[in-house]
Amino acid sequence: MKKMVLASTSTIYGSKYLEYLFPVIKNLFSNSKNILFIPYARPNGLSHKSYTDLVNDTFGQLNMSVFGIDDFNDPIENINRCDGIFIGGGNSFLLLDSIQKCNLIRPIKKKINSGTPFLGTSAGTNICGTSIGTTNDMPIVHPSSLKSLNLIPFNINPHYIDPIKGNKHMGESREIRIKEFHKFND
């Protein structure tokens, strides 16, 4: 059975990074000693090391630690040896492209399907669907395919908010963009 928490965001207004998820993280990873962090989405262009350090410092507040997928030579071996996985937010195109280029789709999917606890935030949640076709991210790189981990049988649009009644915005809303996606992809 899968043990997954798919969060829309890592930070909510008025709180620190992941703070609102602390009770969930403690519960999800309560039996995990080797939590793997996959930093490939690189928010704001952070280096893999800087992003991993941020996550490790944050998990440290919960008396937990993570290791980065790049901390040792073989990313697939790192997936095999972990007992928890966290994929953070950033750019979904960059994340998926990196995972594809490193041939990590199958190992990640196999590990999560075997019951390894998984936390995804934003882009890390987005790649759990059938594709990243409903992301709002800028395509800063072009993955070989938009098909993603397919751990759930639908797509998620992280950070989605319902249209605000009375808003004078004349552009397309996320709701409209998602309807467009379904028109051509169902």
Q: Which of 185, 117, 119, 35 is nearest to 127 (CA)?
A: 119
Residue tagged active-site, from 10, 92, 137, 148: 137
| Dihedral sign (CA 43, 47, 52, 55) | negative
Verify whether residue 15 is a known catalytic residue: no
Residue tagged active-site, from 98, 122, 131, 148: 122
Verify whether residue 122 is a known catalytic residue: yes
Strands (E), 14-107: 35-38, 66-68, 84-87
Pairing relation of β-strands 66-68 and 35-38? parallel
Verify whether residue 159 is a known catalytic residue: yes
Would you name the residues annotated as active-site residues? 122, 137, 159
